[in-house]
Homo-oligomer: A and B are copies of this chain.
Amino acid sequence: MVWGMQPSDVALKRDDQHANTDHDCNLCQADLCRLLKQGRSPRVRSLNRGQRLGGPSCQKIWRILSGLAALCTTLPDGRRQIMCLSLADDVICPASSGEAWIEALTPTSLCEIELDRHGTPNGADAALYAELFRIAHDHVMSVSTHLVTLGRLDGMERVCLFLADMAWRSGQRTDGGWRVHLPLSRDDIADYLGLNPETVSRILSRVKKARLATFLSPTDYLVPDIDALQDRVPMVPPHQPRQSDREERGLHLV
């Protein structure tokens, strides 16, 4: 198993470089910054596609500054499962009774927070622990939603949920619909959705035929009617639309 650890530090990027900074973030920015300062000196790492961080026992958490990272596990026979996808501003804490890593799916930079061997940050106070609890709690939520996806949705439903979710998380609204960049390969999508790459490709072709999404290239698509896409999925989207969008759409999701 090759480990792409790359310890070179780079300058901390400013928050306002990220398009998503204004939305409902899983984590209060100010609190996390404070947490970063109080722990060991925050360390920024850069990873190229395929490089990994972490290991079996979680003693660090990371915040993604830019790029796309996956929390994933590989079974002894090579089967891989991506447990969670993290975009800019997301916080991840690798936790698994087996082996789990953070793997960069695109060039990624992230900020590392050191925990001590009890899984708690150095010099933590109640507010920091509260923040850690919130992080872990949010993580439980997203992993739980994904678990239901894998346990009870068929291929078409999984792919539609994935496309809609990516649109909510990183898409740009245009007059022609939502324009989304998909920085994952078909293999990555398959490993995220618990399918195999050929199945993903076939389902994507069905999605195109049904005009639920138009592909400008294998890595860019347009969703003309995101409600139509969402209607194929019997689930509340894991990353709900921003408050402003919800109001515009006249929805009042829980």
Contact = CB atoms under 8 A, between A and B. Distances in A.
A227 to B, nearest CB: 16
Contact of A144 (B100, B145, B152, B240): B100
Contact of A140 (B76, B99, B134, B136): B136
Interface stretch (A6-14, A124-132, A209-217): A124-132
A109 interface: no
Copies of this protein in the assembly total: 2
Interface in A122-163: 124-126, 129-130, 132-134, 136-137, 139-148, 150-152
A119 B140 contact: no
Contact of A137 (B56, B77, B95, B99): B95
Contacts of A98: 145, 148, 235-236
A30 interface: no
Interface string A92-106: 010111111000000
A119 B144 contact: no
Contacts of A150: 147, 150-151, 194
Contacts of A83: 144, 147-148
A197 to B, nearest CB: 14
Contacts of A81: 147-148, 151-152
A97 B240 contact: yes
A252 interface: no
A249 interface: no
Given A126-B124, A133-B136, A142 B97 contact: yes
B95 A148 contact: no
A116 to B, nearest CB: 11
A38 interface: no
A234 B151 contact: no
A73 interface: yes
A196 to B, nearest CB: 10
Contacts of A240: 97
A240 B147 CA distance: 21
B137 A234 contact: no
A130 B136 CA distance: 11
A129 B132 CA distance: 8
Contacts of A33: none
Closest 8 CB pairs of A and B: A129-B129, A151-B194, A136-B136, A150-B150, A126-B126, A95-B140, A81-B151, A81-B148
